[in-house]
Chain A
Amino acid sequence: MQGMMIARAKELLQNGTVNRVLGWQTGEFVYDITPAVFETAEELDEKFVYNAFCGNNLSKYLVKETKKDGKILVFLKPCDTYSFNQLLTEHRFDREKVYAIGIPCDGKTSGEMVKSKGLSGITGIDEDGDNITVHTIYEDKTFNRDEILEERCRTCKSKKHVAYDELIGEDGEVLDSHRFDMVAKLEAMTPDERFAFWRSQLSKCIRCNACRNVCPACTCEKCVFDNPASGIAQKAAADSFEENMFHIIRAFHVAGRCTDCGECSRVCPQNIPLHLLNRKFIKDIDELYGDYQAGAEVGSRAPLVNYTAEDVEPSIVYHREGK
């Protein structure tokens, strides 16, 4: 797959369709993959990678990249295409300046996941179909892909590309993902249990803002969390209220626009399951206002900038079952 992608990227660079390529390269460690822009065929040969660790959603980078001259080639996994569409819906970048290639995804893992299996001193990683072999300075260990998938990939919502100029490989289907199971489990708890659960999670927050910075839906030029007058700008949360406030507002600002790509949870250095907040909004929207998948199509109207005269009253919150 990586070879095919490099070959195609070189072709497009050479015939002048694009002048840059947005992809992934290895960071400080082999499992530490980082997004990168390539300008020449040599750079592609030398650095470009695509493997089970390329979890980064590249769509957000288009907002800045399309402001530069020339067209850019971007590789999009199925879940990235939803963010791509959502950003287009919000007119955040110029579609004319992007050449999008859809690539298949068998689910991604991460350095964190591999380390959680008790490995350290990782020196290399090999992929052969569904077998992922991790080389460390002590031993080599082979995993089945399913064993070390990230949570968001175990509950993958879709293998179908919803936006692309061309595809490499086969397109998949929208999946029945059971992604709301954990939300439903939390909803079935008593308020005291829920409060204890979220306190134990959110109190870990160090306010690094990584969840905001990586989120493809968070593309405001000026963020409320950077406003010094907001009282919650650019500093560690001082008490439980600020932790709650930051996470409620962060999730609320992307409610109805969140495509559930799961980047927030992936980047969280404290492993807070932030996607459970976003999924709660998605689940509520689906239940109360009809099924809606942000980014499934360009130009759809997000539920929170829409209404019907027959919408349920907020008092429904007091009466819903399982609460």
Chain B
Amino acid sequence: MPEVNAYKPKIVAFCCNWCSYAGADLAGTNRLNYPADVKIIRVPCSCRVNPMFILRAFQRGADGVILCGCHPGDCHYTTGNYYARRRMTLLFSMLDYLGIEKERTRVEWVSAAEGAKFAATMNDFVSTVAALGENKRLEDLRCKE
């Protein structure tokens, strides 16, 4: 029996409409388990995600943020995820530079056929973030309950 009051991290997952969101759907229809702590936000493309979105998610209480998109080369809009890839690399590097735990952010490419990968990724990410504990370094006290 798991502990009743065990710490549960809040995870925000930005999923692109064309691949990863469908991948999450497939995970669901295949009845694969992944933690309910993952809150999915559907975006039209991974490159829709502004660095501000990631920071905002942390502000509003997320303990980890993951961005999922089509595999490079498979973007519905041809090149969107290439731009997202550069942006997120630099943003994550900057967060690390400011001393914020780099394990709290991640980018993963999940196609519409990879329901199993989606579930495995989320399980892994949730356990990584759970091990880190609450997000203290990028929290906004005004947004705490």
Contact = CB atoms under 8 A, between A and B. Distances in A.
Interface string A190-222: 011111111100000000000000000000000
Q: Is the interface of A mostly helix, strand, loop or mixed?
A: helix
A192 to B, nearest CB: 7
A241 B139 contact: yes
Contact of B99 (A191, A303, A316): A191
B99 A195 contact: yes
Interface in B90-105: 90-103
B1 interface: no
B72 A309 contact: yes
A311 B85 contact: yes
A255 to B, nearest CB: 6
Contacts of A192: 99
Name the 8 nearest CB pairs between A and B, nearest first: A195-B99, A307-B82, A194-B99, A241-B140, A314-B107, A314-B89, A317-B92, A314-B88
Contacts of A199: 99
Contacts of B137: 195
22 contacts: A191-B101, A241-B59, A244-B55, A245-B55, A245-B59, A248-B51, A249-B52, A251-B94, A252-B51, A280-B94, A280-B97, A284-B90, A304-B83, A307-B79, A307-B83, A308-B82, A309-B73, A311-B72, A313-B89, A315-B107, A317-B96, A323-B96
Contact of A241 (B85, B95, B138): B138
Given A239-B142, A244-B138, A285 B98 contact: no
Contacts of A224: 52
Contacts of A137: none
A4 interface: no
B90 A311 contact: no
B6 interface: no
A177 B86 CA distance: 26
A280 B93 contact: yes
Interface size band for B: 35 or more
B36 interface: no
A255 B90 contact: yes
B132 to A, nearest CB: 11
A138 interface: no
A205 to B, nearest CB: 13
A61 to B, nearest CB: 29
B51 A313 contact: no
Contacts of B87: 304
Contacts of B83: 304-305, 307
Contacts of A323: 96, 102
Given A284-B89, A318-B102, 13 more contacts: A194-B97, A196-B99, A199-B99, A224-B52, A241-B141, A245-B55, A248-B51, A252-B90, A281-B94, A304-B86, A314-B89, A317-B102, A323-B102
Contacts of B103: 318
B82 A309 contact: yes
Nearest to A306: B86
Interface string A226-243: 000000000000110110
A313 B55 contact: no
A312 interface: yes
Contacts of B86: 289, 303-304, 306-307, 311
B99 A248 contact: no
A129 to B, nearest CB: 40
A70 to B, nearest CB: 40
B90 A195 contact: no
A104 B85 CA distance: 40
Interface in A252-281: 252, 255, 277, 280-281
Interface in A54-68: none
B94 A313 contact: no
A37 interface: no
Contact of A191 (B51, B90, B96): B96
